[in-house]
Amino acid sequence: MYHSKRILYPDNHSELSESELMEQYGRYFGSNNWVTFSGCPSITLTKVGAKSFESLPEGYEVISIDSGCYIESSNFPAFPSGITKLTSVSVNDRPFGKIVIGKGCVLQGTSICAYEKVSIGNNVIFGPNTVIMDCSGHALSNRDHPDELNNLKVESVTIGNDVWIGYGCIVLPGVNIGDGAVIGAGSVVTKDIPANCMAAGNPCTVKKIELN
């Protein structure tokens, strides 16, 4: 059973101005750090399991976007770009997953889903339609078994500072990407990528080291 609280949702908030979007976001996650919105993203808290919401968690503990970030969810980009989606998930009685985004980051139709934690450093640029997840959302076997939710494999994702991730990449659970790394368009990142290198492919592998 899924129960969702949509903090920002295009169907409900698409007519809001940039300032009004920031005001709506700030009601739940604070307004000390100004975030620039182009179009309305989808920011959702989701509970999975038998229990629905009893109360909302403290916003600062769930989704944190630092100052100077740009969240693109419009049709303006030159390349196809969807709505940015930030989803924090709580399974049964577990805490909500945390999404932590550092200063000066650019998200363009970026989808992030956190069951435990997705941490992004400062000055990270995501090409359009990148997907980042710390859990697949279902078990590999025994689907619909009563214990399926308890057997979900969750592994935090960490992306360092000054990383550039190209168009249409997928970053899978448990991955760590080092500072200054560049990930080529269309890559599927299944393993850790060291700092200051260029990596690409499916699966993503290092193509060039020591970019600096």
What digits encode the pLDDT tens for the residues 152-187?
889 999 999 999 999 999 999 999 999 999 999 999
Structure confidence at residue 159 (pLDDT):
98
* Residues 6+ positions from 46 with CB-CB distance below 8 Å: 2, 3, 4, 5, 87, 88, 89, 90
pLDDT digits (tens, 9 = 90+) for 44-79: 999 887 667 676 665 557 999 999 999 999 988 888
Domain parsing of the chain, residue ranges: 2-209
Q: Tell me the pTM.
A: 0.92
Query: CB count, 10 Å around CB of 174?
Result: 16
CATH pick for 2-209 out of 2.30.110.10, 3.40.50.2300, 2.160.10.10, 3.40.50.10240: 2.160.10.10
Structure confidence at residue 130 (pLDDT):
97
The catalytic residue positions are 138
Asked if 125 and 165 count as a contact pair (C-beta separation under 8 A), the reply is yes
